[in-house]
Structures are given as C-alpha cells and as structure tokens.
Amino acid sequence: MDRISIIQPDDWHLHLRTGSVLNAVLAHSAAQFGRAIVMPNLRPPVTTVAQAQQYRAEILNALPVDATFQPLMTLYLTGATSAEEIAAVAAAEFVHGFKLYPAGATTNSEHGVADIHKVYPLFAQMEKLGVPLLLHGEVTDSDYDIFDREKIFIDTHLTAITREFPALKIVLEHLTTQQAVEFVSAANINVAATITPQHLKFNRNAMLAGGIRPHFYCLPILKRETHRLALVAAATSGNAKFFLGTDSAPHLTGLKEAACGCAGCYNAPVALALYAEVFDQAGALDKLEGFASFYGADFYGLPRNTQRITLQKQPWRVPDAYPLGADTITPLLAGESLSWQLVA
C-alpha cells in the first residue's frame, strides 16, 4: 500500500510558543492537523482562563488565512491554582485541561508542582468537575537516573493518583517506557496516553551513538530499543487508550546546538510522515486512522473531524532549517529523506 486516506488527525500535545516563534512554526501544524492541545509553558506560564483566551487569540491571528486549525487550550497547574480557576476551566469551552509539570522536569517548568501530594485537593476538584489532568510523568530528584524517571514517577505518584481519584481523566503525556505502556493498558478507562513520533521511531542510539545529536534530545529522553518496541506495539494495537501527540517543541538552532542544549524536538514538519513510516514498517497502516484521528477526540469528548487527508509513499527531503530572523529552527531529521508525505 503506497497511498492512504484518513480522517484529518489531531495533535493532542503541541508546543507553539509565542511571538515570532509561533508565527514561524504554526503553519506546519495547521497544514496537517485539525486541532491541537496547546501546552501552556510559556514565560510567564498560562495559568488563568483569561490568559488562555489571550493566547488563543494570538494563535488564531497567526494562522494562514485559509487554515481551519483550532487550538485547544490548557492551563499550567501550580501550587497557587485555585478551586475557582478549576471551575472556570470547567465552564470554558476552549480550555480542555490542566498540565502538571513537576518542578524542574523540562523546558519552562520552574513554576511547576514541587510536592504533588499538596495538590491532591485540586485533583479532587478536577475529578468532581470533569476537568482532565495532563501529566509530564517524570520525577526530578537528581538521585534518580534520567532513564528511570518515568517508571519511578508511575511507581511513586501515578499509581497513588489513579487509586485516590479513579474518576479523574488523566493523560500520561509522551510516554516512553514499557512500564508506562503496561500501566496505562491496565488502568481504568479514565487513563490514556500520547505517544510522540520520535519515541516511536528512535531509541537512544539516535541521540548518542557516533556523536551527540542535540536535535534528538527531548524530555522524557529517548530510551532503549525494548521500550521503543513496546511503544510501537501499543500505538499499532488499536487500543483506544493510546493516541497521537507530537510534543513538537521548537527551539532556535543556536539554543539547541549549544554547550547546554535545550530539550525538545521540532517534529511538526515531519510528524505525520514519521507516524506513517512506523505504522507501515509494523504492517499496521490500517490502525493509523484510529491512533491519529479518532481515539484522542473520543477521550476528550469532542467530535471527530470530518475532513480527510491523503498520505502517499513518495520520498522527500526534509529542509535543513526554517528561517527565523537572524537565526533558524532546525527540524527533526533535517536534510534526511523520509518515505511518506502528506499530499497537499
């Protein structure tokens, strides 16, 4: 099979930034996806419904004139989040959950939650009002190996959260390990997960073997091949608990290729091509539409899209970089060839 038509996908985990970066990257996501859950870790973070409304307006104003893309907003959960703000989210049709960053876990997470037990009352309010919790599932204690932090978060926190709040809708974002796949698979129907194209396609060799390749550096970090295979099995299984979330995260090339390169893969230009390659290699192209187009919408209680897109197996070369003022943004797999592409 070298050509498939599917209902237009959605991206259930996307970083768009703001200002000039937003203007440079938005069209890449809008060309492929109907909607996207937009992450709130700006500087300053998006912590109120009023701020989310302003950010949404900025995104809509930056869209190409013919784009139908819809941003689905989230708020950044902090220790100062109030019960009143949770109620405001429940009443706001354009806000679809709270994102919990453990403090220090990833880019712009310094305002995150330092003690998860202290926000249990907020979880109770979210459970009561049907507001989803989106989790960056890693511990941040420096005593723990970076490759084990997702598993330890599940053992230390997520098991307890799902036990204490069984009706709370939880999305474990960008899961990366076999243990995470097993946990989500066994959890109740209110627990789901997103999977990125880089974690499906690559293991940690892509980042470290033959020299450090900073554009593969993301958090959670790429793992062993056994974990990648577990993710592929989950994504291609037809299990509705697992759905598409790119975690596309643009950074200026100069900040990625630095002595202390920042975390995040800018995969928006190549996301659907990579997902199609993975599903094709697994002999599961018939499962791509569910993973990409149906399961996320169903979990969030939103209607499925009705427009269709076509993907074709035809080689193309990823651009070396995209201009942004005096700097550039380098996409994942810059300069390399991919076998699938979106047919305009």
177, 199 Cβ separation under 8 angstroms: no
Provide the residue type at 116 as one letter.
I
Give strand pairing partners of 7: 308
Is 99 marked within a binding site? yes
Q: Between the CA of residue 281 and those of 1, 236, 327, what are the distances in Å?
A: 11, 11, 36
Q: Find out whether 41 is annotated in a ligand binding site.
A: yes
305 marked as binding residue? no
Q: Annotation-wise, does 63 bind a ligand?
A: no
The verdict on whether 155 is a catalytic residue reads: no
Three-class DSSP category at 18: coil
List Cβ neighbours of 76 (8 Å cut-off, separation of 6 or more). Answer: 40, 41, 45, 46, 47, 98, 99, 101, 111, 112
Q: At what angle do helices 19-30 and 49-62 cross, to 10 degrees?
A: 70
145 annotated binding-site participant: no
Separation of alpha carbons 136 and 308, rounded Å: 31
CA distance 241 to 162: 15
- 247 labeled part of a ligand binding site: yes
263 marked as binding residue? yes
Backbone angles phi, psi at 265, to 5 degrees: -105, 125
Which one is catalytic: 11, 141, 148, 247? 247
Judge if the upstream peptide bond of residue 121 is cis by omega within 30 degrees of 0.
Answer: no
How far from chain centre, in Å, is Cα 140?
A: 19
> 15 labelled as ligand-binding?
yes
Q: Tell me whether strands 11-14 and 170-172 are parallel, antiparallel or unpaired.
A: unpaired
Dihedral angle sign, alpha carbons of residues 103, 108, 111, 112: negative
Is 333 labelled a binding residue? no
227 is in an annotated binding site: no
* E strand or H helix at 195: strand 191-195
The helix (run of H) or strand (run of E) holding residue 87 is helix 83-91
Cα-trace Rg, the chain: 19
Distance separating alpha carbons of residues 344 and 341, to the nearest angstrom: 9
Binding residues: 13, 15-17, 41, 99, 136, 174, 219, 247, 251, 263
> Would you please indicate which residues are annotated as catalytic (active-site) residues?
247
Return binding residues for substrate.
15-17, 41, 136, 219, 251, 263
Binding-site residues from annotation for Zn(2+): 13, 15, 99, 136, 174, 247
